[in-house]
């Protein structure tokens, strides 16, 4: 019964969104009155509440192990702890789409109810919000219903959640990421409304700025958590793989970063308005594009859901319609948008506008990397894969230019031409410091650091030293400092520094060892002491006991392999010894024919610093959002 109630509530929500949408559509002809707008707002609110109730009921079903629901039977299991039962809801396509839509409606609901109902834009905001929600609810109900049941004979137990996903990170990584993706629906609907209204009043940027910053924080946190999860739990041995799904998350992130900068310029000095509008639309469209790529299964990736071309086609259609409506509005209406000022060359605005171009370039490069394998596969019938070399080569120069822009824009002023000599004199110390430090690292490493790594290292140190210098000046003679910009850019500089440092200093050893065998070099000794088998409730564990002697310190590791009975899947559990500077990371591989085992031992530097830098960037954005009323 409860599954049907949940299903019914979702259908009713879709109906109410439709109604709310139609009311506005007809009110344009009838000359809108307050009561009509109020009616559609009430429908919108009721629909959201229905959707929330439907989701709560669904969570209840998952917790109570109702295996008559096909989706729950396939992805949950009565042996799971309660938080995995809940998170199993978003462990596959249908349920995660449900969560995605729930978040979408929550963001829009909060936003709509904070807006002034008297404002002219209000009805357009409701119109576009209801439209987007209606599309995705229909998609959920028609092509990917999580409410289907197995009746009359329900299975006694479920098929279990994929072991790879049995991890605390699953509980939090997808929800954060989705909150970020759909959070950009708020600026999206507002910009659509603004363009549709066509009166172009001033001050629209401030209304959506704060929302965009929060969405950016969620998106960044979501991507960071995914990276953290891949490194610590999944045993992939790294934090970023240029996997197609990572790339389609990176594109909205880059667009969102450009958008938050551009909207800052628009609010502060009334320039770059078309840019801001365009970027605001692009972030959400790119998020939808990402959902399409992941859920259609046209690209092989570790994240892909089951391949279903029909679903992919529907999602493509929805994304396409939304993109064409919004970009259509943009291309026909934005001609009338007038910036209140012109951009003075050499001013802060001019560097921010160059930053927009730079970001678009990087988005396009990533996009090309994503679709190029498809082009060769379907037009030339050859399979190619585009990996880290492509992206590293593309991104190194872009990042170098970005670092220069950051440097110049920090030293430049709003609406005024820069003074070349003054700027250069201020930047000379950071430039000298970063050249010097890069050279030190190069010589420490016997001149084997590649150009790309040097660029990364230099850019990172350059950005850090600029802001360190600023902070110093602030504490010495109270010189003005923009804290949010300083903190988030310090985070960005540190991110570049740690990524470059990680790729320069890290190394790995692949060993082949028998039990009781040792591997000895000058600086370390590794001994494989024991191998044991353990049976657990739903899996078998093979645990290796390894001792490592490094710098006169003995560390013991116990990496393991797990074989899950229900799905026959094998996972490896890495053992990591993490210190401030370096992680030692041991992964157990395959058993060879002669009975020995392979091990991968990695020495990863500055990994912790990467997570820390991501948190710094988020902190900077939160400081900024507090300053906006």
Partner 1 sequence: MKSKIRYIFLLVPILIIVFFAYVISQSQNEASQPLNLELPEFQLQTLDDKTLSEKDISSGTYLINVWASWCITCRVEHPFLIDLKDKGVPIIGLNYKDNKDDAINWLKNFKSPYEISIHDFYGTLALDLGVTGAPETYLLKDGIIVRRHIGELNIEKWRQDFEEFF
Tell me which residues touch partner 1 (CB under 8 A): 70, 73-74, 150, 153, 155, 158-159, 274, 278, 285, 292, 296, 298, 306-307, 309, 312-313, 316, 319-320, 323-324, 327-328, 330-332, 334-335, 371, 374, 378, 565-568
* Helix (H/G/I), strand (E/B), else coil: 321: helix
* Separation of alpha carbons 420 and 209, rounded Å: 32
Q: Cβ distance 188 to 283 under 8 Å? A: yes
* Separation of alpha carbons 61 and 237, rounded Å: 37
**Least distance from partner 1 to the Cβ atom of residue 283, Å:** 15
**Least distance from partner 1 to the Cβ atom of residue 289, Å:** 8
**Least distance from partner 1 to the Cβ atom of residue 157, Å:** 9
Comparison of 96 and 326: residue with beta carbon closer to partner 1 = 326
**Least distance from partner 1 to the Cβ atom of residue 537, Å:** 15
Comparison of 150 and 515: residue with beta carbon closer to partner 1 = 150
Comparison of 272 and 403: residue with beta carbon closer to partner 1 = 272
Comparison of 338 and 444: residue with beta carbon closer to partner 1 = 338
* Separation of alpha carbons 118 and 126, rounded Å: 13
Comparison of 17 and 278: residue with beta carbon closer to partner 1 = 278
Lookup result for tokens 């003074």: 419
* Helix (H/G/I), strand (E/B), else coil: 199: coil
How many C-beta atoms surround the C-beta of residue 289 within 10 A? 21
Comparison of 375 and 440: residue with beta carbon closer to partner 1 = 375
Residues 6+ apart with CB under 8 A from 29: none
**Least distance from partner 1 to the Cβ atom of residue 267, Å:** 21
Comparison of 158 and 187: residue with beta carbon closer to partner 1 = 158
Listed in order, strand segments (DSSP E) in 12-67 are none
**Least distance from partner 1 to the Cβ atom of residue 293, Å:** 9
> What is the chain's Cα-based Rg?
27
DSSP 8-class letter at 80 = S
* Separation of alpha carbons 105 and 126, rounded Å: 12
* Separation of alpha carbons 149 and 166, rounded Å: 24
**Least distance from partner 1 to the Cβ atom of residue 343, Å:** 15
* Separation of alpha carbons 169 and 190, rounded Å: 33
Residues 6+ apart with CB under 8 A from 49: none
**Least distance from partner 1 to the Cβ atom of residue 284, Å:** 13
According to DSSP, the residues that pair with 584 across neighbouring strands are 577, 603
DSSP 8-class letter at 342 = P
Comparison of 155 and 388: residue with beta carbon closer to partner 1 = 155
């Amino acid at each position: 019964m409860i599954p049907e109630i949940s299903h019914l509530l979702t259908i009713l929500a879709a109906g109410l969104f439709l109604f709310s949408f139609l009311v506005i559509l007809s009110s344009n002809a009838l000359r809108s009155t307050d009561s009509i707008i109020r009616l559609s707002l009430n429908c919108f609110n009721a629909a959201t509440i229905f959707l929330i109730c439907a989701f709560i009921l669904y969570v209840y079903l998952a917790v109570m192990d109702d295996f008559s629901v096909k989706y729950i039977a396939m992805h949950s299991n009565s042996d799971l702890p309660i938080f995995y039962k809940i998170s199993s809801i978003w462990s596959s396509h249908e349920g995660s789409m449900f969560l995605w839509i729930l978040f979408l409606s929550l963001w829009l609901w909060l936003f709509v109810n904070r807006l002034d109902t008297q404002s002219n834009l209000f009805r357009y905001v409701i119109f576009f919000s209801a439209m987007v929600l209606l599309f995705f609810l229909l998609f959920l109900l028609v092509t990917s219903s999580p409410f289907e049941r197995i009746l009359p004979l329900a299975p006694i137990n479920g098929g279990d959640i994929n072991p790879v996903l049995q991890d605390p990170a699953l509980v939090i990584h997808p929800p954060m990421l989705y909150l970020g993706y759909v959070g950009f629906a708020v600026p999206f609907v507002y910009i659509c409304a603004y363009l549709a209204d066509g009166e172009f009043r001033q001050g629209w940027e401030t209304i959506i700025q704060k929302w965009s910053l929060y969405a950016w924080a969620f998106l960044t946190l979501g991507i960071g958590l995914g990276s953290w999860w891949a490194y610590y739990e999944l045993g992939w041995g790294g934090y970023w793989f240029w996997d197609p799904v990572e790339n389609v998350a990176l594109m909205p992130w880059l667009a969102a970063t450009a958008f938050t900068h551009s909207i800052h310029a628009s609010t502060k000095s009334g320039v770059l308005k078309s840019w801001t509008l365009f970027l605001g639309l692009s972030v959400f469209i790119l998020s939808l594009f990402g959902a399409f790529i992941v859920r259609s299964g046209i690209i092989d990736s570790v994240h892909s859901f089951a391949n279903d071309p029909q679903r992919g086609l529907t999602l493509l259609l929805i994304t396409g319609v939304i993109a064409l409506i919004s970009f259509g509005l943009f291309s026909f209406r934005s001609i009338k948008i007038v910036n209140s000022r012109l951009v003075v060359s050499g001013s802060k605005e001019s560097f921010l506008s160059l930053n927009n171009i730079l970001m678009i370039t990087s988005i396009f490069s990533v996009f090309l990397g994503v679709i190029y394998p498809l082009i060769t596969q379907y037009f030339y019938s050859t399979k190619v894969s585009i990996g880290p070399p492509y992206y590293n080569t593309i991104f190194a120069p872009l990042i170098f230019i970005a670092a220069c822009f950051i440097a110049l824009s920090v030293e430049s002023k709003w609406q005024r031409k820069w003074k070349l000599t003054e700027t250069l004199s201020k930047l000379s110390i950071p430039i000298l410091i970063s050249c010097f430090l890069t050279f030190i690292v190069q010589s420490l490493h016997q001149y084997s650091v590649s150009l790309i790594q040097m660029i990364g290292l230099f850019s990172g140190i350059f950005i850090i030293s600029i802001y360190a210098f600023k902070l110093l000046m602030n504490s010495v003679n109270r010189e003005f400092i923009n804290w949010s910009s300083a903190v988030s850019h310090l985070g960005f500089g540190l991110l570049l520094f740690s990524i470059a440092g990680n790729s320069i200093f890290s190394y790995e050893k692949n060993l082949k060892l028998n039990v009781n065998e040792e591997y000895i070099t000058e600086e370390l000794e590794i001994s494989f002491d024991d191998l044991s088998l353990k049976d657990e409730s739903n899996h078998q564990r093979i645990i290796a006991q390894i001792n490592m002697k490094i710098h006169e310190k003995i560390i013991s590791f116990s990496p393991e392999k797990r074989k899950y009975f229900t799905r026959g899947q094998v996972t490896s559990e890495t053992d990591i010894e993490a210190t401030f500077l370096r992680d030692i990371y041991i992964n157990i591989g395959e058993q060879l024919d002669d009975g020995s085992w392979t091990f991968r031992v990695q020495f990863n530097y500055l990994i912790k610093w990467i997570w820390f830098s991501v948190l710094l960037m988020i902190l900077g954005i939160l400081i900024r959002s507090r300053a906006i009323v």
